[in-house]
């Protein structure tokens, strides 16, 4: 795990000082060592977090004659197999690390090398002989890669903070208000873009081409797996075991971020069985009992004899919001970033690598929205009749409250399938965005979802909607959250569910083995049943969600009103003060749960203060308030 950056110029030699400045902003991603190469028009650099071949794996790494050079952020899990294959072709290796495999694989296959990789990665290869710079991002978008291509000049980096800021993109702001994150290929700045998952970018003499090398997708409805559920559960368990075994490869201690739900608990169980030493587990809890899941996490830890650490988060921890705004170099408003940040800091005090459960919900049908999608197909036409009654339900602050779900359901149930699926998760609808910004944008963020949805015609509807989430919500929200929160503490987070062995089976499952009625993740739960307590296997969905609604009606209200003050909003010039104040008033009065909307506005405003109104630099030394640890 590392941070990488680089630049290429059509007009002359690469700027060494600029490369050094870029690398310095990424020190939190790789505090163990740094390295750089400048060769004519191209410079590449790496900040290394040493995981495999600690002594010999410093980057950049070159081939035998020094004509091909590579820097990598991530891990290649099939590097031993690739190394043996390449050695048989005559390639010589000077290290034991996975990164060295990349230069030799590139020598054999050129830019198509990425197709052979099993892992999470953002890679830059400078081919000095061909004067070609190649960038590649893993097929699931686990590792980030930003680039800026202007007038023959290319700059790239693992994080946006290493690149020039430029002008804020109004379309990105519109998308942020819809999704609470900025979706690829956009970034918050107009001239900077994200390389999409499964794509390779090639720069040659100032010209850039981008091509997709991989697109994991659901099988057509006629090709789904229809074997016996028990057989498929056994196969899934075996595939997950193989993935966890691969993700445990490291020369440093490995732990598990354990929420207490079935996804992370299954990873902890398999890791404990496959590891040759006691596994560390790390959990977050809350004083609000409806959000606290420490008891379940503790039971898994006791069952498998893990070295277990816990943290209880109290409302004053939300005052870390400015720190989160500094950590996330784009506006990012998933409130679960707060506990993810804290549990990552807790884990980083004990291990350098931690397994995390991202991807299981999207792959195996873990969200209530999927159950709602299927229900709406049968009863969606009745939603307008029920809406007046449902809208009068009192607002609850409890986790996954019935009133919140019911209101969302009746508001979206009558829409077409994709728009309905989005409506249940939408933060600000078009009318609300227009009121907030004072104008109606011609850009429709849902178009990004429609484009993805159209690519899977022929698959079951639920599989198509899951695929939309895999390519958008998972990439642009959950994986961003986990990458930035973990790397802020120099912790490598690995995601075993996002492995071709696992996704290959998940994309081939029929709907009946994923969601039936209100029951979700049917096959995954069946696979987990022999390894975990029943209450965890069949319990409600878990996760690092927080009691944001209650906090914003209580201890966090003064902070929210101060951050979203009329003076601040007018100074920044993005949101109208009147609508924002009305949102706060309605939420505090209990008229509606508007916590996701308010969290988004808080996050954007704080981000603007940190990254636009003053010059960003390396992350400050992270700290956690002693008051929130137990």
- Catalytic site residues? 2
Q: Which residues contact 528 (CB under 8 A, 6 or more apart)?
A: 237, 262, 265, 266, 269, 536, 537
- 504 CB neighbour count, 10 Å cutoff: 12
Residue 72 burial (10 A CB sphere; 0-12, 13-18, 19+): buried
Q: Which residues contact 428 (CB under 8 A, 6 or more apart)?
A: 177, 178, 436, 597, 600
Rounded to whole angstroms, how far apart are CA atoms 86 and 108? 9
For the chain, what percentages of helix, strand and coil (3-state, to nearest 5) are there? 45, 15, 40
Main-chain phi, psi angles of 275, to 5 degrees: -85, 150
Secondary structure class of 209 (helix, strand, coil): strand
Judge whether 363 and 504 are in contact, CB under 8 Å. no
Q: Which residues contact 258 (CB under 8 A, 6 or more apart)?
A: 264, 265, 268, 281, 282, 283, 297, 300, 301, 306, 308
CA-based nearest residue to 110, from 38, 22, 211? 211
User: What angle do helix axes 577-588 and 595-611 make, rounded to 10 degrees?
Assistant: 140
> How many CA atoms lie within 13 Å of 263's alpha carbon, on the beta-carbon side?
26
Alpha helical stretches, state H, 413-499 = 417-423, 430-437, 446-454, 461-471, 473, 479-487
Q: Which single residue is written with the structure tokens 């028009």?
A: 41
Rounded to whole angstroms, how far apart are CA atoms 279 and 272? 6
Secondary structure class of 621 (helix, strand, coil): coil
Alpha helical stretches, state H, 329-382 = 337-348, 360-364, 368-379
Q: Annotate 82-114 with b (16+ C-beta within 10 A) or e (fewer).
A: bbebbeeeebebeebbbbbbbbbbbbeeebebb
- List the end-to-end C-alpha distance of the chain, in Å, as a whole number: 29
Q: Which two tokens stand for residue 487?
A: 């790397």
Rounded to whole angstroms, how far apart are CA atoms 585 and 580? 9
Judge whether 119 and 75 are in contact, CB under 8 Å. yes
Rounded to whole angstroms, how far apart are CA atoms 29 and 222? 45
CA-based nearest residue to 133, from 18, 24, 59, 40? 40
Q: Which single residue is written with the structure tokens 């979700």?
A: 520
Q: Annotate 379-416 with b (16+ C-beta within 10 A) or e (fewer).
A: ebeebeeebeebeeeebbbebebebbbbbbbbbbbbbe
Judge whether 114 and 76 are in contact, CB under 8 Å. no
Q: Which two tokens stand for residue 373?
A: 């999608």
């Amino acid at each position: 795990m590392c941070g990488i950056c680089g630049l290429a110029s059509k007009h002359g030699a690469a700027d060494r000082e600029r490369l050094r400045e870029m690398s310095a902003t990424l020190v939190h991603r790789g505090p163990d060592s740094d390295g750089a190469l400048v060769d004519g028009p191209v410079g590449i650099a790496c900040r290394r977090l040493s995981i495999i071949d600690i002594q010999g794996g410093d980057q950049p790494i070159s081939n035998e004659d020094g004509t091909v050079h590579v820097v990598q952020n991530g891990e290649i899990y099939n590097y031993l197999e690739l190394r043996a294959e390449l050695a048989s072709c005559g390639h010589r290796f000077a290290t034991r690390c996975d990164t060295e495999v990349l230069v030799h694989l590139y020598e054999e296959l050129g830019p198509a090398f990425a197709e052979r990789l099993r892992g999470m990665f953002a890679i830059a290869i400078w081919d000095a002989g061909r004067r070609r710079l190649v960038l590649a991002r893993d097929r699931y978008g686990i590792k980030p890669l930003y680039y800026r291509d202007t007038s023959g000049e290319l700059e790239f980096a693992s994080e946006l903070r290493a690149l020039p800021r430029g002008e804020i993109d109004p379309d990105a702001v519109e998308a942020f208000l819809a999704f609470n994150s900025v979706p690829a290929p956009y970034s918050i700045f107009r001239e900077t873009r994200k390389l999409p998952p499964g794509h390779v970018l090639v720069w040659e003499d100032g010209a850039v081409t981008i091509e997709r090398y991989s697109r994991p997708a659901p099988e057509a409805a006629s090709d789904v797996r229809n074997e016996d559920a028990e057989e498929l559960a056994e196969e899934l368990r075996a595939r997950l075991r193989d993935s966890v075994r691969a993700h445990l490869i490291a020369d440093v201690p490995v732990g598990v971020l354990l929420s207490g739900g079935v996804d992370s608990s299954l990873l902890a169980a398999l890791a404990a069985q496959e590891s040759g030493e006691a596994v560390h587990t790390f959990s977050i809890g809350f004083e609000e009992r409806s959000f606290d899941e420490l008891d379940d996490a503790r039971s898994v830890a006791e069952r498998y004899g893990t070295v277990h650490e816990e943290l209880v988060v109290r409302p004053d921890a939300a005052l870390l919001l400015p720190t989160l705004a500094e950590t996330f170099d784009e506006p990012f408003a998933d409130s679960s970033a707060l506990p993810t940040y804290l549990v990552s800091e807790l884990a980083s005090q004990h291990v350098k690598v931690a397994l995390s459960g991202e991807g299981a919900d999207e792959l195996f049908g873990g969200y209530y929205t999927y159950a709602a999608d299927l229900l709406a197909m049968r009863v969606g036409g009745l939603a307008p009749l029920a809406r007046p009654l449902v809208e009068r339900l009192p607002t609850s602050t409890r986790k996954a409250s019935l009133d919140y779900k019911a209101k969302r359901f009746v508001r979206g149930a009558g829409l077409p399938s994709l728009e309905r699926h989005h409506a249940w998760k939408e933060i600000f609808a078009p009318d609300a965005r227009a009121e907030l910004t004072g104008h109606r944008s011609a850009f429709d963020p849902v178009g990004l979802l429609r484009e993805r949805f159209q690519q899977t015609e022929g698959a079951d509807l639920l599989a198509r909607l899951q695929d939309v989430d895999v390519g958008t919500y998972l990439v642009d929200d959950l994986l961003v959250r986990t990458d930035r929160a973990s790397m802020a503490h120099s912790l490598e987070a690995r995601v075993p569910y996002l492995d071709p062995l696992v996704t290959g089976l998940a994309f081939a499952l029929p709907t009946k083995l994923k969601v039936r009625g209100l029951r979700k993740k049917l096959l995954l739960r069946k696979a987990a049943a022999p390894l975990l307590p029943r209450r965890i296997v069949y319990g409600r969905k878990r996760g690092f969600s927080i009691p944001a609604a209650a906090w914003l009606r209580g201890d966090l209200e003064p902070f929210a009103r101060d951050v979203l003050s009329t003076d601040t909003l007018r100074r920044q010039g993005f949101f109208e003060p009147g609508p924002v104040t009305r949102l706060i008033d309605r939420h505090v009065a209990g008229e509606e749960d508007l916590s996701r909307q308010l969290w988004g506005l808080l996050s954007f405003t704080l981000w603007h203060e940190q990254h636009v109104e003053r010059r960003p630099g390396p992350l400050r030394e992270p700290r956690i308030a002693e008051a929130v640890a137990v």
